Amino acid sequence: MSKDKPAVNNTAAFDEVISIIERAKVNAFRAVNRELIAMYWEIGKYISDRARLDGWGKAVVQDFSNHIQSRYHGIRGFSPQNIWRMKQFYETYRDNEKLSPLVREISWTNNVVILSRAKTDEAREFYLLLCSKNLYSKRELERQFDSMLFERTMLSDDKNKLFIEKAPGLSALRDNYVLEFLDIPETHKEKELRKAIVANLRDFILEFGKDFTLVGEEYRVQVGNKDFRIDLLLYNRDLSCLVAVELKVTDFKPEFLGQLEFYLEALDSDVKKPNENPSVGLILCAGKDDTVVEYALRRSMSPALVADYQLYLPEKALLENKLRELTELADMTEDDTEDLEFALCKATAPYPLTGAAVPSAFLSAECHKHLP
């Protein structure tokens, strides 16, 4: 008489099958979506050509919409407004070989959001790639627009480019985070901030990036005979590294960096796996002076950044003006740059006249030759 085999836990094997199913569902959605977007593209092209050659206007498009509704009862997506959007969609991307393939990778709903809210090709590319990578819902995408993620990322990348060049693992981090979804008072304690983040983890990960996952809150590391606690320990799947986040409800102070560097050393020595990249760190403060941050990080050998957080959505006009100024500076010719540097030197003439040291972060080598 045969004995029953001992029970085996097949959960891991079953989960592999589940992942196959989920992958197939995503691939099927993408295939159907590509065909749908291709159809909207062709209809948009047709309407655009007819409007240009035959003078089609709102009345004809209304008749066209009615004709489709009578042919396919109950069909959705062919209102006059949506048909005009197809025309706008085609005309926006038809001459852009870089972006036109990307629009087929995201849903029509998200395409419409980007079409109506992104004002430049750079912004459209940013959100198209973001949607394709993260499979955003409409709500999630609109939140990223509301928080002006494109403008904040561009400004942050420019501000942190020297530190990112030194430690590429920092590329996933920014110098500002918007935490408007936290239901905490303007004046709060670190514990309240940490608890609110964990309670709103889904929105927090949306703001940080969907490649981040939470490893632990007040994560314990032991060094010698003492225990230490990291406020939040995250993991970034794309970069394959641990990310230590220290929360501070005050403005940044240089001594915060020493604490974070200690934690990074402990993580790399005792927690990091052999196949993972070196850990990176972020000090998330209520505020910061960019010059103090630059001085603190300049000689640091650890991959770390300092960011500030705000509990409200950013002021749109302010960020747009900052980004416009940055773009204008990037577009300057060499002569324009020399004129600007000379003007800065004149503006800072009191430094050498009073015997004070000129901040090297403020004046370039080119600027020094214009000093009196």
DSSP 219-230: EEEEETTEEEEE
Alpha carbons 26 and 342: distance in angstroms, whole number: 56
Last-in-domain residue among 144, 177, 212: 144
Residue 6 in domain: no
Residues 202 and 305 in one domain: yes
Domain count, the chain: 3
Query: Domain containing 181 — which CATH number?
Result: 3.40.1350.10
Query: What tokens does 89 get?
Result: 């969609």
Alpha carbons 201 and 330: distance in angstroms, whole number: 37
Predicted TM-score (pTM) of the model is 0.78
Of 165-169, 190-194, 332-336, the range with the lowest mean pLDDT is 332-336
Residues 90 and 198 in one domain: no
- Mean pLDDT value of segment 289-294: 95
Q: What is the pLDDT of residues 310-369, one digit of tens each?
A: 999 988 777 778 777 767 666 654 455 445 444 444 443 433 333 333 333 333 333 333
The 3-state secondary structure of 119-139, one letter per residue: CCHHHHHHHHHHHHHHCCCHH
76-85: long-range contacts at Cβ-Cβ below 8 A with a sequence spacing of 24 or more?
Answer: 77/108, 83/43, 83/47, 84/47, 85/112, 85/115
In this predicted model, which residue has the larger pLDDT, 161 or 131? 131
- Mean pLDDT value of segment 164-192: 93
Residues 337 and 295 in one domain: no
Residues 210 and 352 in one domain: no
CB atoms within 10 A of CB 266: 18
* Torsion 199-202-207-212 (CA) sign: positive
Residue 323 in domain: no
Predicted confidence band at 29 (pLDDT cuts at 50, 70, 90)? confident
- Mean pLDDT value of segment 35-61: 95
Tell me, what's the pLDDT at 319? 74
Residues 155 and 278 in one domain: yes
Residues 178 and 222 in one domain: yes
Residues 298 and 234 in one domain: yes
- The parent domain of residue 359 ranges over 332-368
Residues 197 and 222 in one domain: yes
Last-in-domain residue among 92, 110, 144: 144
Of 41-50, 257-266, 342-351, the range with the lowest mean pLDDT is 342-351
Tell me, what's the pLDDT at 339? 52
Residue 303 in domain: yes
Tell me, what's the pLDDT at 24? 94
Residues 17 and 60 in one domain: yes
Last-in-domain residue among 118, 144, 170: 144
